[in-house]
Structure formats: C-alpha cells, structure tokens
Structure 1
Amino acid sequence: MRQQVLNPCLPENEYIPDVEPYIFGNRVYLYGSHDRFGAPMFCMNDYVCWSAPLDDLGNWKYEGVIYRKNQDPKNRLGLRLLFAPDVVRGTDGRYYLYYAFDFMGIMGVAVCESPCGVFRFLGHIRHADGTLYGRKKGDGFPFDPAVLVDDDKRIYLYAGFGTAVPAIVTGGKKLEFQGGYAMELEEDMLTIKGEPKLLFPNHGEDSFQEHEFFEASSIRKYDGTYYFVYSSRHNHELCLAVSDRPMEGFRFAGTLISNGDLFLNGNTDEEHAANYIGNNHGGLLKLKNEYYIFYHRQTNRSSYSRQVCAERIPVDENGTFLQAEMTSCGLNGGPLEGRGVYGARIACNLWSREGTGRYDC
C-alpha cells in the first residue's frame, strides 16, 4: 500500500539538509549534506543517499554512505566538513559528485558508475594551468557547487558566496565574496574552460533588489529554460532566477519557499514568521508535469539539526511559479489522513508566546 508522505519526508532520526533531488531511472534520489543530532556545527557526518520509487514517495530507501570526508587526499584526517553537494550524470554515463569542504576554499569531484555510490575521489576543480579554483587571485569563493550537463553535452558549474564581507585571504590568496559564479568545464569534469563569470552579484542588480544572492546554488534545465535556485541575503528563503541561456540573461522570478513562510501574504516580520527560521538550501524537481521545491527546516531548537522537506509549487494561469506554503504533507498529493498519531516534528507552524525568530548558531 502506498504510504503517506510527511514533511520532513525522511525518517525522524535522519538529518539531511541542502537536498538536491534527481530522477535517475524510475527512482527519485536525494543528495545533501548530513547533519548530526545534538551537534555543535553543520554537516558533521559523511554523505549518504536516499531513494524512492517515482510512484511511492513515502517509501524511502537508505542507500548507505556514498562518500566519506577523508576520501579526499586534502582531508585525510577528516577534520574538514562536507558542505552541500550536487550530483550529475556525465556524458559517459557515470555519476559525478561535486562538493566543497566548509570554508577551505576548494571544490572536489568524486565519480561512480551508480547513482547511489560508493563514489571514489576523482580530483579538484582547477584552472587550465593546473591551479586549483579558489587559489588564484580574483577567484570567487568555492562554495555550494551546482552542476549541469546541457543537452549539447557542455558542462556548467555554478558556485559562490555573497556575504557583506567582500573577501578573505586563504592559502596566501584573496578570495572574493562577490556572489555566484558560473563556469564551463572541460570533458574531464574538472578543468575550467575559459574564465569564470560573476553571474549573480550580491549587490547592484536591480531586478534582484532585496533578494540578492547569498549562497546555495542549484541549477536545472526543463523544456529549454534554465532554472537557478539560490538562497538570498535573507537566508531563510529560496529564490528563483530564469534564463534561456546557461551563463547570462538570468532574471529574478520570485521566492519559491521560505522556512518561515515570510513574504507569503505580505508578511515580512521575522518575529512573526510561521515558524522559527534559519538558513535554507534545496533544489527543484519536475515530477509528472508538476514542480516541487525541496528545502530544509531546522529542528531540535538548533541550526545544526536540519531535515529535508518538499512542497509542490503553485503556478498561475500564465505558468508563473508562485511562492509555496509550508505544509506537513508536501509530496503527499493532498492533506494527511485525519486519524492516527503524528509526530510533533511535522508541525510546520510553530512559535512561542513571544513569537518566532532565528535559531541561534
């Protein structure tokens, strides 16, 4: 019997934020970073994968650990943390895992013949002269990679960070915090072709005003349109930018989800959000001609125990995406049955006598 689908959608003892959903074959696969209950920091566990049949998204299967942080030769001691990853099927039919270690300032790639691992280390993103991306003057900060293999087999990588601090110095080089960058890769899936391009500056773009890029790059292409999902400077929302070209022409297309339902129905007051808010990261999935946004919510009164949720994106009569409302049943296809017992963690509206606010890090 088909199971109901709750939000958060994975088992209650699993903490997967920053989720990228993909359809490979007849299953949906979820990739993300991996939080730990009661941890003092984000992403302390190794990468794992979960999958479910396309026609039964309540029946999630644990695929196991797909990549360990100490597999990268620059992290043999396992002291650096695996932040948000992305996965793509390459032109050779293999699967490529892109990742960045916390604020180390480099991006790595692993490869596997199967979408559910185990992945093995391949190399680091580098310029044509062999210099690691993130180690050359003027490089953007290597953070939250997103990757796309286009219909013409060209490969695009998106990454970046856009804080109020303009730059840091690491490895003797100045790294820019100017926003989100795009770059084309060679067929080896590692080497940058040409020069990276600042595509989503964290300030100065009129169409993105008040929703400028902060982090959490995610890219999809559906029906000839490029959909770039990112976290804005507000930190709790996932926004959308669209274009008909992979490295230019993106225009702001609104908020897709906020983990406090802010900006929905005109509410902008963080102290009166529908839920306690925190950072957000996720990806877009087209499933049976409907679109879903995957995101995460904070749990356990902490920023470091995040769990994946998903919502169907409403569309207006012109085909424009509208902001989705947080629910407890996003992938269920309708409301939950009004009987039985449900865990408190599925509550999507939660506040105290004083209202809401941000979880402290």
Structure 2
Amino acid sequence: MTRSFLSAGLLALAAMVGPGLGTGFCQHAKVKPLISDLFTADPSAHVFNGRIYIYPSHDIEANVPQDDEGGHFNMRDYHVYSMDNIGGKVTDHGVVLDLKDIPWAGRQLWAPDAAFRNGTYYLYFPVKDKEDVFRIGVATAQSPAGPFKAEAKPIPGSYSIDPAVFTDTDGQTYMYFGGIWGGQLQRWHSGKYDKSLSTDLGKGHDQEPALSAKVAKMSGDMLTFAETPRDVQILDEQGKPLLGGDHDRRFFEGAWMHKYNGKYYFSYSTGDTHLLCYAESNSPYGPFTYKGVIMKPVEGWTTHHSIVEFKGKWYIFYHDTEISGKTHLRNVKVRELVRGADGAIVPIVP
C-alpha cells in the first residue's frame, strides 16, 4: 500500500501503535527483484541528474564455505544500474570497477557507495588489502555510470566496511562506516588492528556500551578524511548508550544516513538478529536516539539498505534471496518508505 492510500491520521496512528498495526498498514503487494540476470546486494541508491543510480555489490558463486567471517561473499567487481522511474526499466551500465584494477586490493569487494562533488563522481568501496585487512578505497569518474578509476592507495586511516557517504544541506560531506565480525570493526577496538578479536569483543562484554559505527568529515577533495573518525553513539530512550548484549537494537553493520525535516536519521542493520533499525539526532555526528524498526528480517542474510527521496516520495532499497534461496546470492528490491505525521517510519514486514 502506498502513501497515497493512507490518510495522515492513519499514518500517525500506525506510527504510534508500532509494529502491530503499523506493519499491517505497510504491507505491500509482492515486490519483484529489480535485477534478475545477475545477483546483486547492498544497494546504495542516489539521484544524479534526475535519475536513480544504484551501486550494489555483485554476488557470485565463489565456492567458498559459509562462515561468520563472510568468506563466501567473495565478490570481484561492481556494476552500476540506473532507472528513470520506480517500476520502470533498469539499465545495467556494465562493470565499472574490477578487483584487478585496484592496485592495493587483495580480495572481497563488499558493499560500496557513491557521491558527487565538483563535477566528479566518487565510488567508495571496502576491500581487503594484501594483508587481508579491510580498508576503504575510492575511485573516480566523470559520469555516475562510470567507469571508475581507483586511487593508488586506500583512504588513509580507513578500516572496516560499509562506507555510506552523506552530503548535508550545507554542502559538507561525511562518511559513516563499520561492520562487526567479518567486517573487522571489533579488531580496531584499541585503536590498532588486533587479529585475535575475531567476533565482537567476546564473552563478558554484553553489559558494556556496544561497538559503534564510525563517522568522519570528508576533505574538500573527497579523497581523504578531514578528521580522525569518531564514534556514532546510539542512546536508548533514557539517554543511555545501547549495550553490547542488546542485539535487537545495537549497531552491527550497513549504516546509512538521510535527512528529513531537519532531523538526521541514522539507519543500520543489527546483523545477527537481521533487523533494520533507525535512530534520530539533531546533528550528523549524533548522539542518536533509538527510534525503532524500519524493516523486519528479510529472507537471507543481513539487511543492507539505502533510503532516497525521488520525485517527492521516499524509497528504501534493500535485498533478499528470493531468486536463489542462498545467503550469498542475493537480489535487490525497492519499495516506498511510509512515515507518520511526526516523521516516524512505519515498520515494514518484507
């Protein structure tokens, strides 16, 4: 059901009542995959020149056993897709960046994002270096459809995965990033890389503040951080930091930022519980107050998403495993995002 069929009163009621009634109002007809000839996931959607461009991961059958480190997600290149309208034709612009063309890369091209500034398009991507440590790289192009040329080295001071690049209304750009377990964020807990921290911080840390995503202001050339990355703090309704054991609300990976009515909405995946949640702030740095669930678990692995406004409506791009039934061979989807009168997002049951 789209927003046009819901009155403001019903939307507000759905937001107040929460998942019970809200999900009922937000049920959609069956959503078809946008792309069926390739496996795609982790879609970052942006509007450039009046057209939607989607920057997803490209899943392949790598014949690697599944593990908590994500070894079976052994992607090797990126495609870019575009569309003039939601529900319209999706154009595949082909391979825009290949692993072999990144001088410092080792393996695993995971979820990317894109941005535009000063006449140049930037593609940000996580990939393991020659020592098997995730870093974040950047590639540039003169067209949003690429092809992109990678810089010779990763962004200095970058680490972990899932870069999400947000440009505020004042023109300043920020990068949000990080992912636990296979994304290696926990290995940087001390400020230096510690390979022994393979999955979170281990037993006994459930009552400590949860690991945070990171945020850093980007420099004017969009190729480096303008500052040392800082924590993205998420607080509960009492103003206390979410704890490591709060698996239904804590950050795990898949950060995204969007702005609506002057508020900053930080959304993310809870990882092992497969929820897509969001928190709200008056600043792009936070702290953010937890607000609720955007989307219940999809079929397959974690919920990596993006949220974008297009022609006066808001949409969420995400993935599931409808086509393959396998967690490492996913397909991208899109549906409208519905809000209450107060800006609260009505939860979706996919």
Q: TM-score range by the shorter chain?
A: 0.7 to 0.9
Would you say the 8 A contact 2:35–2:332 is kept in 1?
no
1:144 aligned residue (150, 162, 169): 162
1:174 aligned residue (188, 194, 207): 194
Would you say the 8 A contact 2:33–2:332 is kept in 1?
yes
Secondary structure, aligned partner of 2:100: helix
Once residues 88 and 216 of structure 2 are traced to their aligned partners in structure 1, the CA distance between those partners, rounded to angstroms, is 37
Partner of 1:137: none
Partner of 2:313: 290
Once residues 105 and 304 of structure 1 are traced to their aligned partners in structure 2, the CA distance between those partners, rounded to angstroms, is 19
Are residues 6 and 95 of structure 1, via their aligned partners in 2, closer, same or farther at CA, if it must alter by over 3 Å? farther
Matches within 5 A, 1:159-238: 159-163=177-181, 167-168=186-187, 173-174=193-194, 178-200=211-233, 205-206=241-242, 209=246, 210-238=248-276
Partner of 1:334: none
Once residues 342 and 234 of structure 2 are traced to their aligned partners in structure 1, the CA distance between those partners, rounded to angstroms, is 29
Q: Which residue identity lines up with residue 214 of structure 2 in the other structure? A: Y
Are residues 201 and 69 of structure 1, via their aligned partners in 2, closer, same or farther at CA, if it must alter by over 3 Å? farther
Once residues 144 and 202 of structure 1 are traced to their aligned partners in structure 2, the CA distance between those partners, rounded to angstroms, is 22
Partner of 2:94: 64
Secondary structure, aligned partner of 2:47: strand
Asked if 1:108 is matched to 2:134, the reply is: no
Asked if 1:245 is matched to 2:283, the reply is: yes
Q: Which residue identity lines up with residue 316 of structure 2 in the other structure? A: I
Q: Which has the higher contact order (CA 8 A, sep 6+)?
A: 2
> TM (normalized to structure 1)?
0.72
Would you say the 8 A contact 2:234–2:287 is kept in 1?
no
Asked if 1:81 is matched to 2:145, the reply is: no
Partner of 2:22: none
Q: Identity percentage over the alignment?
A: 27
Q: Give 1:33 deviation, angstroms.
A: 0.7
Deviations 1:94-139 (A, max 9, x none): 111111115622110001111000011135454xxxxx315xxxxx
Q: Give 1:237 deviation, angstroms.
A: 1.9
Would you say the 8 A contact 1:180–1:201 is kept in 2?
no
Are residues 201 and 58 of structure 1, via their aligned partners in 2, closer, same or farther at CA, if it must alter by over 3 Å? same
Q: Give 1:50 deviation, angstroms.
A: 0.9
Matches within 5 A, 1:1-361: 7-37=31-61, 39-40=63-64, 41-54=72-85, 57-75=87-105, 79-90=106-117, 92-102=118-128, 104-124=133-153, 126=155, 132-134=156-158, 141-163=159-181, 167-168=186-187, 173-174=193-194, 178-200=211-233, 205-206=241-242, 209=246, 210-260=248-298, 276-299=299-322, 300-326=324-350
Would you say the 8 A contact 1:17–1:35 is kept in 2?
yes
Once residues 250 and 84 of structure 2 are traced to their aligned partners in structure 1, the CA distance between those partners, rounded to angstroms, is 36
Once residues 151 and 196 of structure 1 are traced to their aligned partners in structure 2, the CA distance between those partners, rounded to angstroms, is 21
Are residues 277 and 33 of structure 1, via their aligned partners in 2, closer, same or farther at CA, if it must alter by over 3 Å? closer
In the alignment, structure 1 segments of 5+ residues that lack a partner are 127-131, 135-140, 261-275, 327-361
Q: Give 1:252 deviation, angstroms.
A: 1.5
Q: Give 1:39 deviation, angstroms.
A: 4.9
Q: Give 1:313 deviation, angstroms.
A: 2.1
Deviations 1:274-313 (A, max 9, x none): xx44222010022233222111102423111011112222
Would you say the 8 A contact 1:290–1:312 is kept in 2?
yes
Q: Which residue identity lines up with residue 282 of structure 2 in the other structure? A: D
Once residues 333 and 74 of structure 2 are traced to their aligned partners in structure 1, the CA distance between those partners, rounded to angstroms, is 17
Are residues 226 and 202 of structure 1, via their aligned partners in 2, closer, same or farther at CA, if it must alter by over 3 Å? closer
Q: Give 1:167 deviation, angstroms.
A: 3.7
In the alignment, structure 2 segments of 5+ residues that lack a partner are 1-28, 65-71, 201-210
> TM (normalized to structure 2)?
0.74
Q: Which residue identity lines up with residue 62 of structure 1 in the other structure? A: D
Are residues 190 and 44 of structure 1, via their aligned partners in 2, closer, same or farther at CA, if it must alter by over 3 Å? same
How many residues align? The count is: 291
Would you say the 8 A contact 2:121–2:140 is kept in 1?
yes
Are residues 201 and 244 of structure 1, via their aligned partners in 2, closer, same or farther at CA, if it must alter by over 3 Å? closer
Would you say the 8 A contact 1:133–1:142 is kept in 2?
no
Secondary structure, aligned partner of 1:211: coil
